[in-house]
């Protein structure tokens, strides 16, 4: 079983009363969800995450894998970040991916991998998540997107404020696939070809991790 969490949702912007409601992120309170970022010409992060997620799900199912996704459309609201973690945990996924794109300064480029630190709930999967992240970093190098130099060390960023990483009971990584505010990254992120390459890279990393267990 594979878990896929496409960040945000297309209807979030129209429901501030829902997405601003505080929920438990495993350490403290955070908003239920957010709207995500967008390219300078208005291509939204939620469209990108949905495109990659659906490509990845189709590829995995074609290979015979079972897939659970945290949302089933790109025009809804939520689910909240704690509910997304519960969906993947309850499915007893063997590995999971949280797909996002960053909204950093326009001068910055590249992908980064957000990895968990022990929270109590996730303690048993922190080390497996980090091994999986190393495999994903290797596979993402083949997509044409450079490794980010503006976040973390070697593209890895430890985060203790994200529900998906704090509440997970399965190996999971949050992929910031590129910077939507950078013109070169945006060109790739909007490209169907790059989206397919990203889905393929995630699939290969998942397969490599599962073989290594």
For 50, the token pair is 């949905």
Q: Tell me, what's the pLDDT at 177?
A: 99
Q: Tell me, what's the pLDDT at 69?
A: 99
Q: Tell me, what's the pLDDT at 161?
A: 98
CATH code of the domain covering residue 191: 3.40.630.40
Tens-digit pLDDT profile for residues 148-183: 989 988 999 999 999 999 999 999 999 999 999 999
Tens-digit pLDDT profile for residues 64-77: 999 999 999 999 99
SS3 for 15-33, per residue? Answer: CHHHHCCEEECCCCEEECC
Quick one: pLDDT band at residue 192, thresholds 50, 70, 90? very high
Tens-digit pLDDT profile for residues 43-92: 999 999 999 999 999 999 999 999 999 999 999 999 999 999 999 999 99
Q: Tell me, what's the pLDDT at 191?
A: 99
Question: Known catalytic residue: 62?
Answer: no
| Count of domains for the chain | 1
Q: Tell me, what's the pLDDT at 162?
A: 98
Taking all residues of the chain, what is their mean pLDDT, rounded to a whole number?
A: 98
Q: With CA atoms as reference, report the closest residue to 162 among 35, 29, 25.
A: 25
Give the span between the Cα atoms of 198 and 178, in whole angstroms: 11
Give the span between the Cα atoms of 86 and 70, in whole angstroms: 9
Catalytic residue among 45, 124, 153, 176: 176
Q: Is 131's pLDDT higher than 90?
A: yes
Q: Tell me, what's the pLDDT at 149?
A: 87
Q: Tell me, what's the pLDDT at 155?
A: 95
Prediction pTM value: 0.97
Range of the domain at 177: 2-212
Q: Tell me, what's the pLDDT at 74?
A: 99
For the chain, give the percent of residues with pLDDT over 70. Answer: 100
β-strand pairing of 67-69 with 95-102: unpaired
């Amino acid at each position: 079983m594979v878990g896929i969490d496409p960040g945000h949702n297309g209807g979030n912007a129209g429901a501030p009363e829902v997405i601003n409601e505080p929920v438990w992120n495993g350490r403290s309170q955070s908003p239920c969800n957010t709207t995500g970022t967008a390219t300078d010409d208005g291509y939204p992060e939620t469209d990108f995450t949905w495109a990659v997620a659906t490509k990845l799900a189709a590829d995995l199912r074609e290979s015979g894998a079972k897939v659970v996704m945290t949302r089933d459309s790109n025009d809804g609201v939520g689910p909240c970040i704690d509910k997304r973690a519960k969906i993947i945990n309850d499915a007893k996924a063997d590995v999971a991916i949280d797909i996002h794109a960053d909204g950093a300064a326009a001068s910055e480029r590249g992908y980064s991998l957000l990895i968990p630190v022990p929270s109590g709930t996730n303690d048993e999967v922190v080390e497996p998540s980090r091994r999986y992240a190393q495999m994903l970093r290797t596979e993402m190098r083949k997509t044409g997107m450079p490794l980010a130099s503006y976040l973390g060390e070697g593209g890895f960023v430890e985060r203790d404020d994200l529900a998906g990483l704090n509440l997970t009971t399965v190996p999971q990584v949050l992929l910031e696939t590129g910077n939507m505010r950078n013109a070169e990254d945006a060109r790739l992120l909007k490209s169907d070809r790059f989206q397919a390459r990203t889905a393929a890279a995630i699939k290969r990393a998942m397969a490599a991790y599962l073989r290594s267990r």
